[in-house]
Amino acid sequence: MADELEVLPPEHEEHDEDEGGGPVKTFLEHLEDLRWTLVKCALALALGVIVSLSGSPYIVRFLTWPLVLAQRIKTTDQNRVVITLGTNVLARMTQADFPVLGMPTNRDLYLRVAPVEAGTNWVMGLVPDPNPPEAATFGMHVDLKTLGPAEAFSVAIKIGLYGGFALSAPFVILFLGQFILPALHMNEKRFVYRAAGFGTLLFFVGVAFCYFVMLVVTLSTTVSFANWLGFSADEWRATEYIGFTAWFMIGMGIAFELPLVLLTLVKIGILDAQRLSGLRMYWVVAGLVIAAFITPDGNPLTMLLMFLPLHALYEISVLIAKWWERKDAQAQVLEAKPK
């Protein structure tokens, strides 16, 4: 009877999902799967770039919103004189540089260019503006400009690439998962799913923190520092600003993946809660170096704002590692009890 049994070739063997990690394929079949995975990833990226280019004005508005918030922050303690023409701001200066006789010096002074009667003639002069335009009340004013005939195309390319990567990232991760996950065991898949969800959440929290807090503070302090050095900071290159904000948000998102890295090292046995606690002082130095590397302006306040959430994430990782150890110890005690 044994001779009559038909032996299946290895490629047709059935594998237990929990033990074998999925069906066995030949090397050429894996290459074919990889080729189609790369094709789908490239198509997703190309489609994301096209969508981003078509929506460039909306993306520019999104990236410049922190600059609008930063401009509302007053960058000097001195009272200012702001001169406007219509809704345009012509000049900003301190009252010490532009003394106006008979005008109060304990608050900002808004003047507008308007016709003034001088005898039988009308001349253009400065008159107090009780209802200044919103732009005049900003603590600073920065214009984003393209300083070259081809620079607008450079800005559009950056927007297309950054936006394309952002829009296509979920699909690229999905396609890579479809290629890799069939080879994993069931418990490995569960860990990957949890890590992917946790890592995605941390990344977007980091991007949001950078967008709503870090960028506003950084842009405001950058202008203040330039003014302190005696430089004007009212015109920036659009291509540099777009690259600056995009990379800053990406860097913060990656930095917020710290707990995922630490807890993965704990899971595979390289680190534990005791080692993490012992490495705390080394982490403080490393965290400050990371904060200095990611923050582009080198401002101590910006570095501190970035280091504090990173250190909080480190401490949270230590607490989670301790909780895991207590949970494993309790499970071992329960298993050791006689039934």
Q: How far apart are CA 215 and CA 221, in angstroms?
A: 10
CA angle 291, 292, 295 (to 5 degrees): 75
Give me the sign of the Cα torsion angle 280, 286, 292, 295: negative
Per-residue pLDDT tens over the stretch 165-203: 888 988 888 888 888 888 778 887 888 888 888 888 998
pLDDT of residue 103: 58
Contact 223, 75 (CB under 8 A): yes
Mean confidence (pLDDT) of the chain:
81
What DSSP state is assigned to residue 44? H
Comparison of pLDDT for 125 and 287, the residue scoring more: 287
Mean pLDDT over 310-329 rounds to: 91
* Banded model confidence at residue 17, pLDDT cuts 50, 70, 90: very low
Mean pLDDT over 245-255 rounds to: 88
Minimum mean pLDDT among 34-43, 98-107, 278-287: which range?
A: 98-107
pLDDT of residue 47: 96
Tell me: pLDDT of 101 over 60: no
Q: What's the token pair of residue 224?
A: 């203040």
Bridge pairing between strands 143-145 and 235-237: parallel
The residues near 141 (Cβ < 8 Å, ≥ 6 apart) are 71, 89, 92, 135, 234
Q: What's the token pair of residue 229?
A: 């050095």
Mean pLDDT over 259-266 rounds to: 90
Q: How far apart are CA 269 and CA 278, in angstroms?
A: 16
| 285 C-beta neighbours (distance < 10 Å), count | 9
pLDDT of residue 1: 46
Contact 17, 186 (CB under 8 A): yes
pLDDT of residue 319: 93
pLDDT of residue 76: 58
Contact 108, 94 (CB under 8 A): no
Tell me: pLDDT of 42 over 90: yes
CA dihedral 135, 59, 242, 204 (to 10 degrees): 110
Tell me: pLDDT of 53 over 90: yes
pTM listed for this prediction: 0.75
Q: What is the DSSP string of 188-256?
A: HHHHHHHHHHHHHHHHHHHHHHIIIIIHHHHHHHHHHHHHHHT---SEEEHHHHHHHHHHHHHHHHHHT
Q: How far apart are CA 182 and CA 136, in angstroms?
A: 60
pLDDT of residue 210: 92
Mean pLDDT over 95-101 rounds to: 62
pLDDT of residue 212: 92
Per-residue pLDDT tens over the stretch 120-141: 888 887 877 777 776 666 666 7
- List, edge to edge, every strand of the sheet that includes 109-118: 88-94, 80-85, 109-118, 121-128
pLDDT of residue 109: 74
Bridge pairing between strands 121-128 and 109-118: antiparallel
Comparison of pLDDT for 231 and 154, the residue scoring more: 154
* Banded model confidence at residue 147, pLDDT cuts 50, 70, 90: confident
Q: How far apart are CA 336 and CA 80, in angstroms?
A: 76
